[in-house]
Each structure stands twice: as C-alpha cells, then as structure tokens.
A and B are shown apart, each in its own frame.
Chain A
Amino acid sequence: MSTPLVGTTAAAATSRERFDPREVRGRFPLLTAKREPPLVYLDSAATSQKPESVLAAMDDYYRRYNANIHRGIYAIAEEATAAYEDARARLARFIGAPAREVIFTRNSTEAINLVAYAWGRWALKRGDAVLLTVMEHHSNLVPWHILAAERGIELRFIPVTDAGELQMEALPGLLADGRVRLAGVVHISNVLGTVNPVEEIARQAHATGALVLVDASQSVPHMPVDVKALGCDFLALTAHKMLGPTGIGALWARRELLEAMPPFLGGGEMIREVKLEGSKWNELPWKFEAGTMAIAEAVGLRAAVAFCEELGMERIFEHDRELARYALERMIEVPGVRILGPPAEKRGGVVAFELGEIHPHDVATVLDHHGIAVRAGHHCAMPLHDRLGVPASARASFHCYSVPEDVDALVEGLHHARKVFG
C-alpha cells in the first residue's frame, strides 16, 4: 500500500493528552517558512494550512502510483483505486457513517448544490417550503434561490438574535403548517462562530416530516461530528478547511435518500450500462461521482483525516475555543473593538469584530503590513451582516496550529490600526 499514515498507531496513545500547538505548528511547512515579517495566520475559517503529511501523501500518489481509478487492470491503478476508496472509508468513519453513503464532491458548496438539484428537483413541488437560517453562508442560500425561482418554492428563515444565535422560539411557528420539506442549517457560523443546536432543529423538523441538511464546513474540521448523533439526513463538508487540499469535499446522506434520488451529474463512472437511447445508474456511492474524480485530493484528505484523528477532534475543539476565549479577553482591551456573536462558551474558534469606525478593509490592510492574515468583508454571509447592521467585518479564526502569540500579535496590530486612523 501507499505511505504509512500519521496517526494510525500514535492516535490512541496521544488522544487523551493535550497536544502542543507549537509542536503541531512545526509540521506545517508554510507556517515554519522564514518570512519577514513572520506570518501570523488567522484565516483558518477561509482555508486551513496543510501539514507535511498531506503534501507528502499527494506527492507520493503523483510520483509513485498516479493512475485512473476503478477501471485499470494493472498494479498502480489498483493501488490508486484502493487509496481513493480507503479515503472514503476513513472519512466515513470520521463522521460516523457507512462508506457507501459518502459521496465525494468538489467542496461543500457542490455537496449542497447536489442536494438542491438532485433531491430538490425530484422531491419538491410548488407550494413546498425550504427552511434556512439568517446566518447561512451564501453556499446554503444561493442553490435554494435558484431552485425557488425555478419551482415556486417558498424560502423561510430562522431569525438570528442580536447576540448572534438562532432564535429557536421561532422554529415551531415556522414548521407549523407542515409545508417545510427540508431544513438547512449551518452547524458553526463562519462569521459568528456560533455552534447551532442542530440536534434540536433536526428533532423538531423531523416531527413535522421535514428532512435536515447540515452545512458542516466549519464543524467537521474543528469538532467531533457524528451524523447519527446529529440526527440529520444530509451533511456537507469540505477538505480544505480540515487541513486537507482544495478541490475535494463530500456529501453524506442517508442511503434510502441516495437510492431514491436521481443522479446529479451524468458521465463516466456513474453508470452501470449505457446504450445510445439511455443508461442505468451505477450503485452507491458511484452513482453520484461522474467523470474522473479528484484522486490526489482524496489521498490528501485521507492524510488530513489521519492528522485530525491523531490530535483528536475533542482536543482540537477545546484548543480552538480556548484561543477564542483568550482572543475575546484580549481584544476588548483595544478601545473601539466590538465583537460580533455570542460569548466564548457558545462559539468555536472564530472571532469577527469591528474596530470603531475603521473600515474592516483598512484594519486588514494595516494588519497585513504586520504579517497578520485576517479576513475582511462580508465572509459570504451578506444577509447576516444586514441583520447585524454592519456592512462588513474583520475576522480572526484558528486551527490546531494557532498559538496565543498569534492573538497577542493581532491585539498589537489593532492598536497600530487605531494609531494610523486615530
């Protein structure tokens, strides 16, 4: 088989102890590269950095066993196929699902589009409703806008409180008429860091006959996620935010749904038999994987899953939350800082903020001159910013390699920004 994976043996030994983020950081080539000023990377919610093991696994595939999967009857093609399917199996185990129910996509956006196009077009008719939330990323809004315009479907939204949490008391009313066929909710907000009560939403939605889609783009990379414990029906995730490569993500869905849904994209590999007049679909999960998939990226994702398992998802979550708590404490020292979103105990490793009247772009530009990478803008959540009454915000976000010194540098940078625009 291919390269030995990090974590298969070390995982059990270390998962109970806390990891040392400084040691972890040492395994990320981009973060250890010499740079002036040194890079303070605080944009992991946009994309995480990649450890050496992920880069090496992808490189090894291309150098040693690059071949197309599933059809080749020769050694390296079989090795590539085994690696690709093993990646699926490990990802599936990582989220508590059978491998057959995990479909590889380009990213979570494509996974949500798959649900909107394949399930939505098949299952929804005029007068049905889809329930979303005001804090969704555009990726869980726009596919439904397209479908709503095409099919005459009503879109409803769970409101967001001033504190940046879902207004759960509104949920029973939104579900009451029984017309909601799907509730789509982001697990962790990419702006506010709010961890949403997905289990409770699923319980109430199921009671009225609605299915539940979870956008897990920010949760699977940072906390333990088990699809059965969440009680959802669809879950979308992306590799590049969980230490893996860009270009691959996944949709998990319950088998009965995947069996019943028509395919999303047509082409090679997703068929069992093709005649000129028509074709029969392949079995799961390949029914939804048309054309040559992102093989190297699947191999990279497998190494990323192994890395996450070695550190332990509970440990990563604890680490991120502790940094967020520290950031909240330190940042309020800076006059004019206003933090968006809930208190530390209700959020993951994301801190969006405003700095007085200074535009987030200006804040980010000053920080960039200090080597500090934060995001500024609407973070693909314009309706949420409208709700909060701010045109844009700046955002710092963490992962396993982030250290308190990153927060200290940010705080110092914010003081400088105030001086420049003071």
Chain B
Amino acid sequence: MGEWDELYRENIIDHYKNPRCRGTLDHPDITYEDANPLCGDQLRIDIEVKDGKIEKIRHSGHGCSISQAAASMLCERMEGHPLEEVKALTKEDVLELLGIELGPVRLKCALLILKTLKAGVYGITQWPGEEEEKA
C-alpha cells in the first residue's frame, strides 16, 4: 500500500461501499436536505424521534466517498442516542470517526453530514467549525 491511498483507509471504503443507515423514512419527525455548493454533493437526513432519542436515522443523496462514509459513520453512531447529543457534536468527532486528516476542500465533504444534522435538528446552518474560527 503506497502513501497515496492513506486517505482511503479500509473503513472509509467499507462505509462507502456498504453504507449503514442508508435510505429514507416514511414518517420522519425531522427531515432536512443540504448541499455542498463547492462540489454539488447532496445529502438528506430523516430522523424518527422517540422519548428524546434518535429512534431511527437514515441518510440519502449523492457525494464522494468521504461525504458518504462520514454520513454512514455518524448516523450509525447517533442511532439510539439522545437527540440532545447532536448539539455537542464537533468537527473533531467526525474526523475521529473517519480517522484521517483532510485539507480544507475535502473537510467540507466530511462535514456535510454534521452540517445537515445540526441544521435539521437545531436550525444551525453554519459550517461546523466556522463559529469557533470567527470567535
């Protein structure tokens, strides 16, 4: 394995090819769609909430391996957790799930799921991480 495929670790390729929590829900309590204008990647999330918990979460849309794998990993991690936890999620959490470092352009690919999730649940429409940079 050469240095050039460091970015595409096995777990990323695995989540990209076999996405978890992929699809849509018929009666979601929360549904939200967002896009990355830089590359046209589109992502939709559907969430069913029960007793303050994420009962079911599904993602759909299209995008690169990084955005798709991040969506798969984050949805898998959040299903069954309190909805409240979404608020505390940071860009570091997503990068930790992916296990890689990313340049600024690909970082947006990775964070599209987090942006979509926060916008859907809390109406926060900024890119994750940008609020800290401005402070």
Contacts and interface: CB of A to CB of B under 8 A. Distances in A.
Interaction A to B: yes
Interface of A: 358-362, 365-366, 369-370, 376-378, 382, 385, 391-392, 416, 420-421
Given A359-B64, A378-B40, A391-B40, A366 B4 contact: yes
B5 A366 contact: yes
A416 B4 contact: yes
Which of A359, A360, A369, A382 has most B Cβ within 10 Å? A359
Contact of A369 (B7, B62, B63): B7
B4 A377 contact: no
**Main SS class of interface, A:** helix
B40 A365 contact: no
Interface string B1-42: 011111110000100100000000000000000000011111
A360 B106 CA distance: 12
B75 interface: no
Contacts of A370: 4
16 contacts: A359-B41, A359-B65, A361-B39, A362-B66, A365-B106, A366-B4, A366-B8, A369-B2, A369-B4, A369-B7, A370-B4, A385-B40, A392-B39, A392-B40, A416-B5, A421-B13
Interface residues of B, number: 22
B7 A377 contact: no
Interface in B59-94: 62-66
**Main SS class of interface, B:** mixed
B43 interface: no
A365 B39 CA distance: 13
Nearest to A363: B64
A370 to B, nearest CB: 6
B45 interface: no
B109 interface: yes
Contacts of B6: 369
Contact of A420 (B13, B40, B62): B13
A361 B4 contact: no
A385 B41 CA distance: 13
Contacts, number: 52
Contacts of B41: 359, 391
A362 B64 contact: yes
Nearest to B39: A377
Contacts of B66: 361-362
A420 B63 contact: no
Which of B6, B39, B63 has most A Cβ within 10 Å? B39
B38 A365 contact: no
B63 A359 contact: yes
Contacts of B8: 362, 366, 420-421
B64 A391 contact: no
A65 B8 CA distance: 52
Contact of A361 (B2, B5, B106): B106
B103 to A, nearest CB: 9
Contacts of A420: 5, 8, 13
Contacts of A391: 40-42, 62
Nearest to A386: B40
A250 B1 CA distance: 49
B108 to A, nearest CB: 10
A377 B13 contact: no
